[in-house]
Amino acid sequence: MSSRPSTAQRRLLKEYRELLREPTDGIVAGPVDENNLFKWNCLLVGPPGTPYENGVFRATMTFPKDYPLSPPKLKFDSPILHPNIYNDGTVCISILHPAGEDPMMYESADERWGPLQSIEKILLSVCSMLAEPNPNSPANVDAAKLWRDNREAFDEIIRKQVVKTLL
């Protein structure tokens, strides 16, 4: 880090210390290395009672230089089928959409990013999203269609992905 940390660096360090001091079940997150607070590794445990249960999903969170004014991006490194996750692993969830009104008028401004959000809240929201997909606003149309039309086949694919996360 430079001799005088930026607002973003101070905020990221503060959030990291909070995550260390008060860990949240099913979530582990921290900077890839101490010299770059703008890229984090994350581990999310699949929510109980879902096909994702017992999976340990790796993801990378990258932060813009003007964090917390702008939201980070979250991308799963582990293969994961989900209506709200693009095929490349990028998560599509309201909390990660830029602040302000939605040009498509689908989300309200209070569902979108705001500087008071936190890394912990983002990761908890993603865990909730895993448990309760929004098939009406899919990032992965094929996954949304499978989820709606053939839940048994959808769940079977997920269970196979869960096993792979544990190998």
CATH number of residue 30's parent domain: 3.10.110.10
Tell me how many domains the chain contains.
1
For residue 116, being part of any structural domain is answered with yes
Catalytic entry in 19, 91, 92, 123: 92
For residue 1, being part of any structural domain is answered with no
For residue 84, being part of any structural domain is answered with yes
For residue 56, being part of any structural domain is answered with yes
Domain ranges, residue 128? 7-165
Query: Is the preceding omega at residue 68 within 30 degrees of 0, hence cis?
Result: yes
User: Is 42 labeled as catalytic in the residue annotation?
Assistant: no
Query: How much is the pLDDT for 2?
Result: 47
Q: Tens of pLDDT along 88-112?
A: 999 999 899 887 655 555 656 567 7
For residue 29, being part of any structural domain is answered with yes
Asked if 120 and 27 count as a contact pair (C-beta separation under 8 A), the reply is yes
For residue 2, being part of any structural domain is answered with no
What pTM, to 2 d.p., does this model score? 0.90
- pLDDT interval class at 1 (50, 70, 90): very low
For residue 157, being part of any structural domain is answered with yes
Candidates 125, 137, 135, 132; CA nearest to 96 is 125
For residue 13, being part of any structural domain is answered with yes
